[in-house]
Amino acid sequence: MSELGISDVAVHCSDIDDECQWKAPFYFIQGADPQFGLMKAWAIGDCDNGGDEWEEEIKLTEQAVQAINQLNPKPKFFVLCGDLIHGMPGTQWRKDQEQDLKNVLKNIDQDIPLVFVSGNHDIGNVPTPETIDDYCKHWGDDYFSFWVGGVFFLVLNSQLYFDSSKCSELKQAQDEWLNAQLAVAEKRKCKHVIVFQHIPLFLQNPDEDHDYFNLEKSVRHELMEKFHKAGIKAVFSGHYHRNAGGSYKDLEMVVSSAIGCQLGEDTHGLRVVIVTAEKIVHRYCSLNDLSSQGIEKELMDLIKQN
């Protein structure tokens, strides 16, 4: 497990029965795509070989950490939904980018656990057993589940659904694990089930065409139906570097823009996610607004409800 692991948040009912019981509304912070190195690479138009500078991303991630640290009450955890760095496996700046990101994240309040989700830049567009193993050594497991406050959370390696041609056995292992976890979700009386993954199921419409930023249609529909039957309420992702989202039946797909490089009109930001007994409410906040104003009163009032 990585030095920045998720041991404080990832609990199982057999270990800590408390976290499987609903008590009161709470919130967590979702971020995505700090992707150290992309801003320079995008600016020079060379995403494959660029990315030799990431000072801007360091400053933005430091701002994100500072904004989270000053929140009161504290979030239950901070989840980063993939593309932690820009350097693909085997590229020259990868190790330095990883170390610089770890150095920034070490400053997060010790009472706010970190949850890491693997992205395509973290394990490669076509992952292999070796790239996934390397990721796990640095950041923790590529898929796992945990309970917080009566809510069941699933973290998935979405790259295995995008292209598992070089690691089919690992894809099968995740599939079998996921089926077992969804069976748990169906049996237990958890208030909600929430999924984190890097690549969105879809960006706006469940039937939209497949491209780089979503999952292939047949894979997508199989997962959506599986999630719906298991009672999953929301899937949170990144990857798009823009805010987007939509619904499939009663499953909400939430696509959050980046801490780092923006590819659209959104600002660098984080998503505040409020979990109440009845619903999941979320708001994307710019880093500047979250730093200067904190969480707006409307959302804070939901947290204070019993």
What is the per-residue pLDDT for 46?
A: 87
Mean pLDDT within 182-199? 90
Q: How confident is the model at residue 306 (pLDDT cuts 50, 70, 90)?
A: low
Q: How confident is the model at residue 6 (pLDDT cuts 50, 70, 90)?
A: very low
Q: Give residue-wise pLDDT tens across range 68-91.
A: 999 999 999 999 999 999 999 999
Q: What's this model's pTM, rounded to 2 decimal places?
A: 0.95
| Partner residues linked to 26 by β-bridges | 275
Q: For residue 140, how many other CB atoms are within 10 A of its CB?
A: 22
What is the per-residue pLDDT for 17?
A: 63
What's the CA gap between 160 and 96, in Å, rounded?
A: 26
Helix, strand and coil percent figures for the chain, each rounded to 5: 35, 20, 45
Q: How many CA atoms lie within 13 A of 244 on its CB side?
A: 18
Q: Give residue-wise pLDDT tens across range 219-250.
A: 999 999 999 999 999 999 999 999 999 999 99
| 234-237 and 251-255 beta bridge pairing | parallel
Residue carrying structure tokens 């959370």? 153
Closest CA to 148 of 30, 31, 21: 21
Q: Give residue-wise pLDDT tens across range 164-178.
A: 999 999 999 999 999
What is the per-residue pLDDT for 11?
A: 42
Q: Are 157 and 19 in contact (CB under 8 A)?
A: no
How much is the mean pLDDT over the chain? Answer: 93
Between these two residues, 141 and 10, which has the higher pLDDT value? 141
| Exposure b/e, 265-299, CB count within 10 A at least 16 = b | ebebbbbbbbbbeeebbbebbbbebbeeebbeeeb
What is the per-residue pLDDT for 260?
A: 98
> Is 5 a residue whose pLDDT tops 60?
no
**3-state secondary structure (DSSP) of residue 93:** coil
Q: How confident is the model at residue 3 (pLDDT cuts 50, 70, 90)?
A: very low
Phi, psi of 21 (to 5 degrees): -105, 135
